[in-house]
Amino acid sequence: MSDHLIVGGGIIGLLTARYLSQAGASVTLLERRQIGRESSWAGGGILSPLYPWRYAQPVNALARWSQQHYRALTDQLQADTGIDPEWTQSGLLILDHGETPHATDWAEKAGARLEHIDGDTLGRIEPVVGEHPQGGLLFPEFAQVRNPCLLKALRQDVQARGVRIREAAEVSRLLHENGRIRGVGTADGGSIAAEQVVIACGAWSASLLRELGQSIDVTPVRGQMLLYRGEPGLLKHVVLHRGHYAIPRRDGRLLFGSTMEDVGFDKTVTAQARQELERAAQALIPALAEIPLERHWAGLRPASPNGIPYIGAHPRIEGLYINAGHFRNGVVMAPASAHLLVDLILGRPPILDPAPFALDSHASAA
The answer to whether 366 and 306 have CB atoms below 8 angstroms apart is yes
**Sequential pLDDT tens for the chain (366 residues):** 678 999 999 999 999 999 999 999 999 999 999 999 999 999 999 999 999 999 999 999 999 999 999 999 999 999 999 999 999 999 999 999 899 999 999 999 999 999 999 999 999 999 999 866 688 999 999 999 999 999 999 999 999 999 999 999 999 999 999 999 999 999 999 999 999 999 999 999 999 998 887 779 999 999 999 999 999 999 999 999 999 999 999 999 999 999 999 999 999 999 999 999 999 999 999 999 999 999 999 999 999 988 999 999 999 999 999 999 999 999 999 999 999 999 999 999 999 999 999 998 764 433
CB-based burial label for 202 (10 Å; 0-12, 13-18, 19+): buried
Residues 6+ apart with CB under 8 A from 352: 61, 62, 65, 336, 340
Beta strand pairing call for 219-229 and 191-199: unpaired
Q: Could you report how far apart the first and last alpha carbons of the chain are, in Å?
A: 37
CATH of the domain spanning 87-145+220-303, picked from 1.10.10.10, 3.30.470.20, 3.30.9.10, 3.40.47.10: 3.30.9.10
Beta strand pairing call for 2-7 and 191-199: parallel
Which residues on neighbouring strands pair with residue 226, listed in sequence order?
A: 256, 296
CA 306 – CA 356 distance, rounded (Å): 12
The answer to whether 43 and 20 have CB atoms below 8 angstroms apart is no
Predicted pLDDT at 363: 43
pTM value? Answer: 0.96
Predicted pLDDT at 366: 36
Name the residue among 339, 299, 307 with its Cα closest to residue 324.
307
SS3 of 303, please? strand
Q: 2-74+148-217+305-365: what fold?
A: FAD/NAD(P)-binding domain (3.50.50)
Query: How many angstroms separate the Cα of 171 from the Cα of each of 5, 107, 130, 136?
Result: 11, 43, 48, 47
Domain residue limits, the chain: 2-74+148-217+305-365, 87-145+220-303
Instruction: For residue 309, give the DSSP letter.
Output: P
Secondary structure E strands in the chain: 2-7, 27-30, 92-94, 115-117, 136-139, 164-166, 171-177, 180-186, 191-199, 219-229, 238-241, 244-248, 253-257, 293-303, 310-313, 320-324
CA 11 – CA 334 distance, rounded (Å): 7
Name the residue among 53, 318, 47, 29 with its Cα closest to residue 192.
29
What is the residue-wise DSSP string for 343-364? Answer: HHHHTPPPSS--GGG-TTTHHH
The answer to whether 67 and 60 have CB atoms below 8 angstroms apart is no
Secondary structure E strands in 230-287: 238-241, 244-248, 253-257
The answer to whether 11 and 39 have CB atoms below 8 angstroms apart is no
CA 223 – CA 268 distance, rounded (Å): 10
CA 245 – CA 314 distance, rounded (Å): 36
